[in-house]
Amino acid sequence: MARWGMVIDLDRCTACQACVVACQVENNVPPAGSVDAARGRAISWLRLVPLDGREAHGTRPALRLVPLPCQHCDLPPCTPVCPVYATQKDEEGFVAQIYPRCIGCRYCTTACPYTVRDFNWRRPEWPAPMEQSLSPDVSVRPRGVVEKCTFCHHRLQLARDQARAEGRPLREQDYVPACVQTCPANAMAFGDLDDPRSTVARLSRSPRAFRLLEELGTGPKVVYLSKGEWGA
Amino acid sequence: MLGRRRFLGWTVGAAAGAAVGGGASAGLRALFASAESPIVPPRGPERVVLSVCDLCSGGCGVRVRMVGDRAVRVEGNPLHPVSGGRLCPRGQAALQALYHPDRAEGPLRRRGPRGDLSSFVRATWDEALGEIGARLAEIRAAGRPEAVVLMTGGGGAGLGPRVARRFLSAYGSSNHVALHRGDEAAAIALLLAQGVRTAPALDLQSADYVLSLGSALLEAWSAPVHATRAYGEFRRGRTGRRGKLVHVEPRLSITAVSADEWIAVRPGTEGVFALGVAAAIVGEGLHSKPFVAERIAGLEDERDADGRMRPGLRSVLAQRYRLEQVEAETGVPGDVILRVAREFASAGASLAIGPRKGPILPGRLFDHLAAGVLNALVGAVDAPGGLLVADEPPLPAWPPLPGGVSAAGRARPRLDGAGAERPLLASDPERLAEAIRARAPYRAEALLLLDADPVFASAAPEAFAAAIEDVPLVVSFAAIPDDTALLADWILPGSHYLERADLHTTPAGVPYPLVSLARPALPRPVRDARPAAEVFLELARRVAPELAAALPWKDLDALLHWEMEGLHAARRGAVMGTAFDEAFVRMMEGAGWWAPGYRTAAELWTRAHESGGWWDPFYDHGDWRRVLRTASGRIELRGDLLAPPPAAPDRDGTLALLLFEPLPIAGGTGAELPFLQAILDPGHEAHWETWAEIHPDTAARLGVADRDWVRLESPRSSLVARARVTARVVPDAVAVPVGLGKRGGGRWASNIGANPLRLLAPTRDPLCGLPDFGATRVRVMRARRPNGSA
Amino acid sequence: MPDHERHDDERLFAPVMRVGRGFWMLAACAGVLGFLGLVAWLVQLRRGLSVTGLNVPVYWGLYITHFVFFIGISHAGTLISAILRLSNAEWRRPITRAAEVITVLVLFFGMGCILLDLGRPDRALFVLRHANLRSPLLWDVIAVTTYLTASTIYLYLPLIPDIALLRDRLPQRRWLYRPLSLGWAGTPRQQRILHRAISVMAVLVIPIAVSVHTVVSWVFAMTVQPMWHSTIFGPYFVVGAIFSGIAAIILATAIVRRAYRLEAYLKPVHFDNLGILLLVMACLWFYFTFAELLTTYYGAEPSHMAVFLSKTEGRFAPSFWTMIVACFVVPVALLARRRTRATVWATVVAALSVEIGMWLERFLIVVPSLSVPRLPMEAAPYAPSWVEWSLFAAFVGVFVLLYAVFTKLFPIVSIWEVREGRDRSIADVARRVESYLPDGGAGP
């Protein structure tokens, strides 16, 4: 079985946030107004977080702006704590969120050390006629359940169906999440980490590769390539 | 034994309990059911439509997924050379604009006082075009066609602005004013250096060392997706070569964050820094001597035609831009200047970029000239990795303009004096506002606004608001009523790009000629809107027969056929295709062959629509006759122009006002879309409000803490913004984003934030007359929370 | 003389016999608060948790704080009463029932808080249908349910003789007391069985009670979040629970004493002893807190220090230092000296201070770790809304009302145990003390 992972090259990333908006559009995330945003309730499955660094030629603080999706950990701290099995890791490594099962206790949200999980504090609403642009492939969540990045799992299902209909195996380029597809700098790659020939497997072996909060042993499947000069 | 009374009591009690309980449980169930959204998913056959995004001037080709009559997803078109299958956040938010709840229902006529949306009532297109057409015909019949002014703004090089401009000329007026001047300063610099009037294109992906002088290369660039794609390749797309980016600006912008080095200079001294680098290069003899010898004029002093001594670049640099002078003025240590100079000169392909910050903020001409000097010194002109000049796509000429009244009108001087009073400018919106109020040299009788919101996005917002009151007929084509539309007499809502067919020419900054085609995705517009191009075609028919003859097309499709047939006749280029196709075409054209992949015009039409359009990917480097049209036939280094504008007198305690345009709200549009309001400043928790970046030392001096409200005061106006205390900006400056603070724009833009363009001093660049967006100084103090803010 | 013919302890029967004006006023106030809470809850059901102050990353706030707080207080009754019974502390007699009632009632409110916190309360029963036994929340469900069952039994068993007394005294309420008294007649055999059963329950209840708050603490400790993932949490929470529980007993008995004029039964010496217990727990609590803070500070791990500093000098500093004062300084100051400790008012003030302090402590456990996440991100400060406060007020109000209703139905001081004490204790204690003394009598 495949083990799906992502590589984000911070040397290419320009922090334009196309990935952030693409994810929201693809996954029927409701738009938040200024009030909800000010209260910290806007839903965004993918965010840019600032990780401070020091630049080489000076003493002023430099920033790295790092896209942070759900890391789909191999040893996720969020799945054991769900009292109703509403979030589980499946055989292909996706940490899935099952909306009809979720009771909204938010234990998984507090257990996640990356803080990448979101919650529907209110019923998602789209002022008419904005609901017309909703994608039919992704369910609209109700009020009171947790949601998070799914690596656009619905696209995998569609790609598999397509491949089956055409009588061929699934190719690497058939399934990419919305963020990877839209990144103008081509900073994101996606694929099977267990396939030694895949782009992500190759890139994850780069000397520039690192993962976030590795020391916690969560085994995140999002690999970052550090910004800067060194490494090929 | 239960008595009868007791029994009755018990049963009544039980029944009542059951009723209450049942009611309560039904109520609870209703409450729980209200958790689900009553969304009806789209049904119907799926299809894909190719179109072109016009949320900025970038011209990205897009693929639209339709389910039934609904557009459910917009992605980049993988075959399109600009987008390459990718999109920026604005492009991704296109569907929010299409289905925006605050789009005007249809044509709106003003019946009450200006400035209020409730003053408008619905009208039919027939009524609207009938009245407006009649009025325009009247003005023209009275012999004053020049009194009609057309203002266009951002939003791409589609047919709307082209037809509008042609209409204006055919009608008999030369008063076409472009509001967005983001490319102007760079274009004027190119004009002065190479004699070509266009915005320069950059071959970023082949460069090795980029010196960005405060440019917004990775933000609100003229073609953002194109530039960011090139940047990705520039960094990690070529094995063994990694491009280096050095960014010079008094603020740590998004581009600076991506750079390898951020050099913080004093406000307004980017050009001085660049010339300091140039002085070091020339001083140490690191410039490309063969290139300079062959292609450059003006390095040494020379006598001009009148016998006067014109200072050459070398003497200007030696006199005014010596290391210690530049060090003192910019605040950058001399060894940094020297190091950058050596790196810039010795890298494989170096490129200097001037401070274009967005569609509204062009940067100063001086800084762009300085960038041009650096490029010229290292031979980065028309070379791979350097400054390129795009060729125009070979589209056919349109029918000739009528003479008579129209010719007379076109010959009258422009109201804004562009090209005359200020010979280097193509447009001068602020001067237009003055001329309208002064009614000189003649009165403006009609103002047509296409994608333009001067009451918000010009350098003189209040002057415009006053001027508009004086124009008898103001028509706005805004789809969502913006600030200017609220003051207009008529709102004729333009269609969304997904609702119409269109043809886009090359976006500014892209080095090869492109014709991108768009088909309408929706069978009919969501609101009663019409493409602006078709409105102008209709108006032409209503105004006069000679206009109809000059614009003889029935609708957009007819015009598209005209264009494509002409394109076919040009016998150049190919339809858009894969990377393989592109390489093949380049190879063939490089050898002198034309291998287009189509034979007849009909085939071109079909294939171009299937792939996204037509282009010519071959760039003929070193075709000097095309890219150099100066009198000398060489690149002119205008040493005589290289004196920076005087800095505004430093009043005690004031700070330099640094303006910038975050990509989501660049050009004064985008604030209407909630997904874009949410991402204004990545990683810094600033969204849905205007903020002012202040250095910690300055903040301590002013007694301002992070997230306090502060007032910024200039001689012209004041505004309140949220202070963000950060070392991202130098101590002598305060940085404020442009794009929020509208009155119109719908529920997500209206009365959110503040517009710093109101603070601008009316200073003009002494070289060319562009408004100097960087010359204002403001006083900053703590303030009370503005009304209606969280 | 048969029990039902004795006429001492009339005071203890009085509340059950008569409903005074005070009770109705209390009911009215509680009714208003309860109504407010109901409105708040309905608003929350309609509009979702957006009516609270919760956000990303502070996903848990007052509801979880109150959950821990109420479950903590529940350690009062059963644990104290069981320990005191097992250690044969004679002064427990008038106190045990008041304590046990707190436990049984407050557990419902603790569980209610969790229900309030759920995004989908209509799916609450999923925890039974689709139970994931690896989840500490599931352990909570099991432990609290077990504890509730055990405490109810432990409240009921010693209640039986008193119910029998009431059955005989109040024939108009026979329909209630007769079935509940299980035919108690006070025979020696019945007495033996009862004492046996009570002893067994007393022993059983203690590990169950310890497990409950340990498991509540593991909801936090089993995550990897800074200042949650701590091995000390289990014992720390148990200590904190007993601490707040004793304070609750003090408050409850003081109020009951005043309201029903039971000064003869709840004497200063009782408050003195409770005060000693509170003092001991204050010191123990301080020890655990200090150990926790010192190890965190010494290790200086960045993500831990970010939370630590937010508590000691940052946004949460006022609450933190108030907590230290309220939980340690005030109680020790008031209770360390015998002269003050032996007064009722001093113990009550100390107990009130402790409750406030322990409320802050629960808040400071839940909110700061969430407010300062490991990866820097948007963090709007958490400000509880009227809904959250209203529900808290409603819970407290209804709890007090239910407690008062209990005192109207059953004696709040265990009559038979007081009588047993009066009759037998002195002899029992004398015998016990004698068995401690060295053998051999009075000497040469």
Per residue in B583-640, pLDDT (tens digit) is 888 888 888 888 778 889 999 999 999 999 999 988 989 899 999 999 989 999 988 8
Which CA distances in Å does B394 have to B59, B134, B510, B661, C380?
Answer: 18, 36, 16, 33, 55
Sorted by where each starts, the structural domains of chain A and their CATH numbers stand as 4-225 (3.30.70.20)
In a domain, C2, yes or no: no
C-alpha atoms less than 13 angstroms from C-alpha of C352 in its C-beta half-sphere: 8
- Architecture, CATH, for domain B655-782: Beta Barrel (2.40)
pLDDT interval class at A62 (50, 70, 90) = low
| DSSP H helices in B683-772 | 696-702
Per-residue model confidence (pLDDT) at position A123: 94
- Summarize the confidence of residues B205-210 as an average pLDDT: 96
Q: Is B89's CB within 8 Å of A24's CB? A: no
Q: Answer with the residue of higher pLDDT: B320 or B787.
A: B320
The beta-carbon neighbor of B71 closest among A11, A35, A133 is A133
Burial-class residue A24 by CB neighbours within 10 Å (0-12, 13-18, 19+): buried
List the helix and strand counts (H, then E) for chain C.
Answer: 19, 0
Per-residue model confidence (pLDDT) at position C173: 86
User: At CB < 8 A and 24+ separation, what contacts does C186-189 make?
Assistant: C186/C2, C186/C3, C186/C161
Q: Residue B418 in contact with residue B445, Cβ under 8 Å?
A: no
Per-residue model confidence (pLDDT) at position B30: 81
- Lowest average pLDDT, out of B73-77, B400-404, C162-166, C440-444, goes to C440-444
Numbered ranges of CATH 3.40.228.10 in chain B: 201-388
Beta carbons within 8 Å of C434's beta carbon, 6+ residues apart: none
Percentage with pLDDT > 90 across chain B: 80
- Give the rounded distance of the alpha carbon of B2 from its chain centre: 88
The position carrying tokens 């006749």 is: B569
Closest chain B C-alpha to A141 CA, distance in angstroms? 7
Chain B: residue whose CA lies nearest to C123? B32
Mutate to test the interface with A, among C375, C378, C382, C388 (most CBs of A within 10 A): C375
Mutate to test the interface with A, among B37, B253, B728 (most CBs of A within 10 A): B37
The CATH class of B116-182+402-494+529-569 is alpha beta
In a domain, C432, yes or no: no
- Summarize the confidence of residues B655-675 as an average pLDDT: 95
Numbered ranges of CATH 3.40.50.740 in chain B: 116-182+402-494+529-569
> How far apart are the two ends of chain B, measured CA to CA in Å?
68
pLDDT interval class at A61 (50, 70, 90) = low
Q: What is the CATH number of the domain that holds C245?
A: 1.20.1630.10
Closest chain C C-alpha to A173 CA, distance in angstroms? 31
- Smallest Cα–Cα separation from B281: which of B148, B144, B378? B378
Q: List average pLDDT for each run of 10 residues in chain C, which is 444 residues long.
A: 67 86 93 96 94 94 97 85 88 91 94 94 94 95 94 92 89 88 89 92 92 95 94 95 95 93 90 93 96 95 93 96 96 89 89 97 96 84 95 96 94 89 89 89 56
> How far apart are the two ends of chain C, measured CA to CA in Å?
44
**DSSP codes of every residue in C175-221:** HHHHHHHTT----HHHHHHHHHHHHHHHHHHHHHHHHHHHHHHHHHH
Helix axes C96-117, C62-73, angle to 10 degrees: 160
B563-B565-B571-B573 Cα dihedral, nearest 10 degrees: 50
Per-residue model confidence (pLDDT) at position B155: 62
- Summarize the confidence of residues B235-262 as an average pLDDT: 93
Q: Residue C363 in contact with residue C375, Cβ under 8 Å?
A: no
Per-residue model confidence (pLDDT) at position B56: 92
In a domain, C440, yes or no: no
Cα separation, C29 vs C32, whole angstroms: 5
Per-residue model confidence (pLDDT) at position A1: 83
Per-residue model confidence (pLDDT) at position C443: 53
Residue A39 near chain C (CB below 8 Å): yes
- Summarize the confidence of residues A2-16 as an average pLDDT: 96
Q: E strands within B125-205?
A: 148-152, 176-178, 201-202
Which CA distances in Å does B276 have to B102, B209, B339, C154?
Answer: 51, 17, 11, 88
3-state secondary structure at position B679: coil
Chain A: residue whose CA lies nearest to B86? A182
Numbered ranges of CATH 2.20.25.90 in chain B: 46-98
* Chains in contact with B via at least 3 Cβ–Cβ pairs below 8 Å: A, C
Phi, psi of B779 (to 5 degrees): -100, 140
Numbered ranges of CATH 2.40.40.20 in chain B: 655-782
Cα separation, C206 vs C198, whole angstroms: 13
Closest chain B C-alpha to C50 CA, distance in angstroms? 12
Residue A120 near chain C (CB below 8 Å): yes
pLDDT interval class at B25 (50, 70, 90) = confident
C-alpha atoms less than 13 angstroms from C-alpha of A153 in its C-beta half-sphere: 17
Cα separation, C267 vs B654, whole angstroms: 73
Degrees (nearest 5) of the Cα angle C271, C276, C282?
Answer: 120
Sort out which chain C residues have CB atoms less than 8 A from A83's CB and list them. 126-127, 131-132, 135, 137-138, 141
C-alpha atoms less than 13 angstroms from C-alpha of B304 in its C-beta half-sphere: 10
Cα separation, C154 vs C197, whole angstroms: 9
Is domain B201-388 annotated with CATH 3.40.190.10? no
Beta carbons within 8 Å of A91's beta carbon, 6+ residues apart: A1
pLDDT digits (tens, 9 = 90+) for B475-517: 999 999 999 999 999 999 999 999 999 999 999 989 999 999 9
Beta carbons within 8 Å of B701's beta carbon, 6+ residues apart: none
Tally of CB atoms within 10 A around B623: 12
- From the CA atom positions of chain B, what is the Rg in Å? 29
Q: Residue B193 in contact with residue B636, Cβ under 8 Å?
A: yes
Sort out which chain A residues have CB atoms less than 8 A from C219's CB and list them. 107
Q: Which residues on neighbouring strands pair with residue B474, listed in sequence order?
A: B447
pLDDT digits (tens, 9 = 90+) for B334-389: 999 999 999 999 998 999 999 999 999 999 999 999 999 999 999 999 999 999 99
The domain total for chain C is: 1
DSSP symbol at C6: -
Per-residue model confidence (pLDDT) at position A232: 42
* Chains in contact with C via at least 3 Cβ–Cβ pairs below 8 Å: A, B
CATH topology of domain B46-98: N-terminal domain of TfIIb (2.20.25)
Q: Is B258's CB within 8 Å of A127's CB? A: no
Q: Which residues on neighbouring strands pair with residue B514, listed in sequence order?
A: B615
Cα separation, B182 vs B176, whole angstroms: 17
- Please report, as a single letter, which amino acid is at residue B345: A
pLDDT digits (tens, 9 = 90+) for A169-213: 998 889 999 999 999 999 999 999 999 999 999 999 999 999 999
- Summarize the confidence of residues B397-401 as an average pLDDT: 96
Per-residue model confidence (pLDDT) at position A59: 39
Beta carbons within 8 Å of C424's beta carbon, 6+ residues apart: none
Mutate to test the interface with B, among C122, C126, C175 (most CBs of B within 10 A): C122
Per-residue model confidence (pLDDT) at position B788: 46
In a domain, C433, yes or no: no
Provide the domain limits for residue C407: 7-373+380-422
The beta-carbon neighbor of B685 closest among C42, C120, C378 is C378
pLDDT interval class at B649 (50, 70, 90) = low
* Structure tokens given for C255: 């109020």
Per-residue model confidence (pLDDT) at position B523: 93
Average pLDDT, chain B: 92
Q: Kindly tell me if the per-residue pLDDT of A52 is higher than 90.
A: no
In a domain, C115, yes or no: yes
Q: Kindly tell me if the per-residue pLDDT of B651 is higher than 90.
A: no
pLDDT digits (tens, 9 = 90+) for B612-623: 999 998 898 989
Closest chain C C-alpha to A20 CA, distance in angstroms? 15
Per-residue model confidence (pLDDT) at position A16: 96
* Structure tokens given for A30: 């409701």
Per-residue model confidence (pLDDT) at position B16: 83
Chain B: residue whose CA lies nearest to A17? B89
